Chain A
Amino acid sequence: MACAPSSTPSGIHLPDSARELVKILVAGPFGVGKTTLIDSVSEIRPLHTEEHLTEASATVDDLAGVREKSTTTVAIDFGRISLPGGIVLYLFGTPGQERFRSLWDDIAYGALGALVLVDSRRIDASFDVLGLVEESGLPYAVAFNAFPDAPRHYTEEQLRTALDLDAGTPMVTCDARERDSSIDALLALVQHLIDRHPPERR
């Protein structure tokens, strides 16, 4: 049912109609445009949480070590889109370095899938992210963020080979600054998720 919200949610409190909350990870290395993409589609100004990174083995639920000087923090940006029918879609900008693994697992818990943003000027910066996504078993699509000076001479086949992508993994180009373009990239992922779930006998 495509009922418009009776009133625009003031500030960041959830609309009363919110019923199903789902999330998609927008993953990629620093500077690839994760926050730009989230900002272009989010109904709220993107927020962020400061996440503490302790040593690799620490679980995220454990605050032990927060006091230690060696603790570093990373800001995780997120945004939100209210869709008709009480669905609220959250987008979490997730850095993909190996050292963020425990945080990654926590954020990825229950996610529908991941949109992996790649900068074609530095493809190798995305290898870690793709490794994490694949290990986590999260279905994903790849979106090349179209930076103005990005090389255009690569063929899709070359890019696919460079990233070692399955033939079935969607690969699109987007301009993360443009709302419609960002939505198209998200749609490529969601369509991929739908296609993975063949209609079940009910």
Chain B
Amino acid sequence: MTGRPGGRPLVPAYLSTGGVARPSRDRLERLSVLTGTGEAPPADLPAAQLALLDELADGSLTVVEAAALLRLPVSAVRVLAAGLVDRNLVLARAPIPPAEGFDPDLLKRVADGLRALKHP
């Protein structure tokens, strides 16, 4: 959690990335899963990247969840996360194992899971 009740975003979007407008890596999706590697962050890590790393201290988050918590646009979090991946501080994983695609079995499991949620 951000620990900052109410108030403005931690960093304005246009400053958060240090002026970098595009992520340095292949596309991170909204649902790419970010996990901290546990490596100690270097002292010169920009504040916004550190803030993202802090959010990952308690567990994994998707890009979009991190954006919501940090109150930054998804586009900014993509840039920040890519920087952290470059520094080996964060691992990013695609939402679905690449080979899987939309196999009908996945859809069926989604349907079964939804049915199981309904009250009897």
Bound pair (A, B): yes
Render A59-76 as a binary contact track against B, CB cut-off 8 A, 1 for contact.
011111011000000000
Q: Which of A128-136, A165-173, A185-193 contacts B (4 or more CB under 8 A)?
A: A185-193
The answer to whether B79 has its CB under 8 Å from any CB of chain A is yes
In angstroms, how far is the closest chain B Cβ from the Cβ of A60?
A: 6
Q: Provided the pairs A106-B30, A110-B31, A186-B114 are in contact, do residues A49 and B61 lie with their beta carbons within 8 angstroms?
A: no
Q: Provided the pairs A14-B60, A14-B61 are in contact, do residues A190 and B31 lie with their beta carbons within 8 angstroms?
A: no
- Asked if B65 contacts A47 (CB within 8 A), the reply is yes
Q: Provided the pairs A63-B13, A183-B114 are in contact, do residues A20 and B107 lie with their beta carbons within 8 angstroms?
A: no
The answer to whether B108 has its CB under 8 Å from any CB of chain A is yes
- Asked if A22 contacts B113 (CB within 8 A), the reply is no
Q: Provided the pairs A83-B109, A110-B95, A200-B104 are in contact, do residues A51 and B13 lie with their beta carbons within 8 angstroms?
A: no
User: At the interface, is chain A mostly helix, strand, loop or mixed?
Assistant: mixed
The answer to whether A180 has its CB under 8 Å from any CB of chain B is yes
- Asked if A22 contacts B96 (CB within 8 A), the reply is yes
* CB-contacts of A121-157 with B (<8 A): none
- Asked if A190 contacts B33 (CB within 8 A), the reply is no
Residues in A whose Cβ lies below 8 Å from that of B117: 41, 81, 83, 179, 183
Residues in B whose Cβ lies below 8 Å from that of A56: none
Nearest A residue to B97 by beta-carbon distance?
A20
* CB-contacts of B31-50 with A (<8 A): 31, 33
* CB-contacts of B45-63 with A (<8 A): 58-62
The answer to whether A164 has its CB under 8 Å from any CB of chain B is no
The answer to whether A90 has its CB under 8 Å from any CB of chain B is yes
Q: Provided the pairs A21-B31, A49-B67 are in contact, do residues A83 and B110 lie with their beta carbons within 8 angstroms?
A: yes
* Count of chain A residues with a beta carbon within 8 Å of a chain B beta carbon: 55
The answer to whether B23 has its CB under 8 Å from any CB of chain A is yes
A184 to B115 CA separation, bound complex (whole angstroms): 8
Residues in A whose Cβ lies below 8 Å from that of B96: 20-22, 110
- Asked if A23 contacts B58 (CB within 8 A), the reply is no
The answer to whether B90 has its CB under 8 Å from any CB of chain A is no
Q: Provided the pairs A60-B75, A180-B119 are in contact, do residues A66 and B33 lie with their beta carbons within 8 angstroms?
A: no
Q: Provided the pairs A22-B106, A51-B74 are in contact, do residues A11 and B79 lie with their beta carbons within 8 angstroms?
A: no
- Asked if B116 contacts A84 (CB within 8 A), the reply is yes
- Asked if B78 contacts A197 (CB within 8 A), the reply is no
Interface residues of A (CB under 8 A from B): 2, 9-14, 16, 18-23, 41, 47-52, 60-64, 66-67, 78, 81, 83-85, 87, 89-90, 92, 106-107, 109-110, 112, 179-180, 183-184, 186-187, 190-191, 193-194, 197, 199-200
Interface residues of B (CB under 8 A from A): 1, 13-14, 17, 21-23, 27, 29-31, 33, 58-62, 64-65, 67-69, 71, 73-76, 78-79, 95-97, 100, 102, 104, 106-119
> What are 6 A-B pairs with beta-carbon distances under 8 A?
A14-B61, A18-B33, A49-B64, A81-B117, A109-B29, A183-B117
Extra contacts besides A22-B96, A183-B118 (11): CB < 8 Å:
A9-B59, A13-B60, A18-B60, A21-B95, A22-B106, A47-B68, A62-B22, A81-B117, A84-B109, A112-B102, A180-B119
